[in-house]
């Protein structure tokens, strides 16, 4: 029974972590005449409403450079949100200025602006209590001056889910992002 309890607790922990949504991501302005105490914070300036599509390809290699696993963005089923973005002008700003060179593409007669970039990390913060962790949620975070004026040091602007990946200490993840913004 003891051997079953530990993996079950691990699965519950992963489920709780992957279903966490930062509070600034769920704050939306409402026309209800209630004045917010945080009127100068990040949650009150809406985006110009672009549509983003997020694709991710993740490669995990061990400390010796050997391939451990490969995964990609999950297809959303049953109305679940597998990929999302912070609906705020800071997301548009980051897409326009911080994420790299853009190109215009057309898919099924829909015009998109496309940006591609990669991030790589050993993610040592995952291993507080174990030498092995499961993860399946990936985020693009911005920090610094663009976000400080809203009262935050950093915030996630894009996030997506993939199949679960088992990471060990010193594994290196390389996340290859492709983000499309609908121009129609």
Per cent of the chain over pLDDT 90 is 17
Interstrand relation of 154-168 and 83-85 (parallel, antiparallel or unpaired): antiparallel
Quote the radius of gyration of the chain (alpha carbons, Å).
18
Transcribe 84-151 into DSSP letters.
EE--SHHHHHHHHHTS--EEEEEETTEEEEEEEEEEEE--GGG-SS-SEEEEEEEEEEEESHHHHTTT
pLDDT in tens, 149-162: 788 888 888 888 88
Per the prediction, the chain carries an average pLDDT of 75
Model confidence pLDDT, tens digit, residues 63-77: 899 999 998 887 766
Domain boundaries, the chain: 2-182
pLDDT exceeds cutoff 80 at 40? no
Instruction: Judge whether residue 35 has pLDDT over 70.
Output: no
Q: What angle do CA 69, 74, 77 make, to 5 degrees?
A: 150
Residue 142, C-beta contacts closer than 8 angstroms, at least 6 positions apart: 90, 94, 98, 154, 155, 157
| Residue 32 phi, psi (nearest 5) | -120, 10
At 143, the pLDDT band (50, 70, 90 cuts) reads confident
């Amino acid at each position: 029974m003891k051997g079953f309890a530990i993996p079950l607790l691990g699965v519950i922990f992963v489920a709780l972590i992957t279903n966490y949504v930062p509070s600034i991501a769920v704050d939306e302005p409402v026309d209800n005449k209630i004045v917010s105490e945080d009127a100068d914070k990040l949650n009150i300036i809406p985006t110009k409403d672009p549509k983003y599509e997020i694709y991710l390809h993740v490669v995990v290699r061990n400390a010796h450079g050997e391939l451990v696993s490969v995964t990609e963005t999950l297809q959303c089923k049953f109305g679940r949100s597998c990929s999302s973005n912070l609906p705020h002008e800071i997301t548009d700003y980051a897409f326009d200025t911080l994420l790299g060179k853009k190109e215009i593409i057309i898919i099924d007669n829909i015009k998109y602006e496309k940006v591609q970039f990669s991030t790589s990390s050993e993610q040592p913060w995952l291993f507080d209590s174990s030498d092995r962790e499961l993860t399946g949620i990936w985020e693009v975070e911005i920090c610094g001056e663009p976000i400080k004026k809203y009262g935050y040091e950093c915030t996630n602007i894009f996030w997506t889910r993939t199949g679960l990946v088992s990471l060990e200490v010193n594994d290196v993840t390389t996340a290859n992002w492709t983000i499309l913004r609908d121009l129609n």
